[in-house]
Amino acid sequence: MTVSEPTLPQRIRSFIRRQGRLTPGQQLALDSHWNAYCLNPETDYDFTQVFGRDAPLFVEIGFGNGDSLAKMAAANPDKNYIGIEVHTPGVGHLLILLHEQGINNVRIYSHDAIEILENKIADNSLAGVHLFFPDPWHKKKHHKRRIVRPSFVDLLVKKLKPGGYFHAATDWENYAEAMLAILSASPVLTNTSPSNDYCQCPEYRPLTKFEQRGIRLGHGVWDLIFSKV
């Protein structure tokens, strides 16, 4: 089974860069802590030197305000995390959390995630890639902007270690179904779900406030976890 993308643009552009309004605290964090936590997308890094150790490396694409990433990193101090987010207020908020909580196992790129994966992450180097609640681009005419597509899966397969995993979560059932079909088409990925569709939310993924509210209202959330054979 193959999933083609004949009508999709060659480059994935799954986000619109919005500046947003920075709070004074976020601006202060950007001014004070950028050099401590943020990476230059033009520089090539040895991540064992960046983190000062060799540990399993995870990437989160589009971390939003960073609450979930900070919680994961604090709960798993033996792992290294790279967060990628283009929206400056979210970066500022995460910097506040990292500094206030003394979290040292997170680094940040404020840049296009596809370019970072392609150019700055070594092949067969990632223990996991997280994509939690990406923009669903729910209108059919906008589906071409969704990040999960066959070319993205090919990129994932290159960057994941054997046994590494990709974990996506969405509250849009249509997007979940599309992701399931695309990921299932890869001969190099295997679905970790016992029912070969969706997984229970694992303990390592913190629930967001938005997600908790949706669950109380009866809204669905779909987790997909595929590992590299």
31 is catalytic: no
**Could you identify the residue written with the tokens 């990292």?**
98
Please answer whether residues 169 and 202 qualify as being in contact, where contact means their C-beta atoms are separated by less than 8 angstroms. Answer: no
State how far the Cα of 33 lies from the Cα of 92, in Å rounded to an integer.
9
Catalytically annotated residue among 54, 135, 171, 223: 135
Pairwise CA distance, residues 59 & 49, whole Å: 17
- Cα(first)–Cα(last) distance of the chain, in Å? 17
What DSSP letter does each residue of the chain carry, written as one string? -----TTS-SS---------PPPHHHHHHHHHHHHHHB--TTS---HHHHHTS---EEEEE--TTSHHHHHHHHH-TTSEEEEE---HHHHHHHHHHHHHHT--SEEEE-S-HHHHHHHHS-TT-EEEEEEES-----SGGGGGG-S-SHHHHHHHHHHEEEEEEEEEEES-HHHHHHHHHHHHT-TTEEE--TTSS-BPPPTTSPPPHHHHHHHHTT---EEEEEEE-
Q: Which residues are catalytic?
A: 135
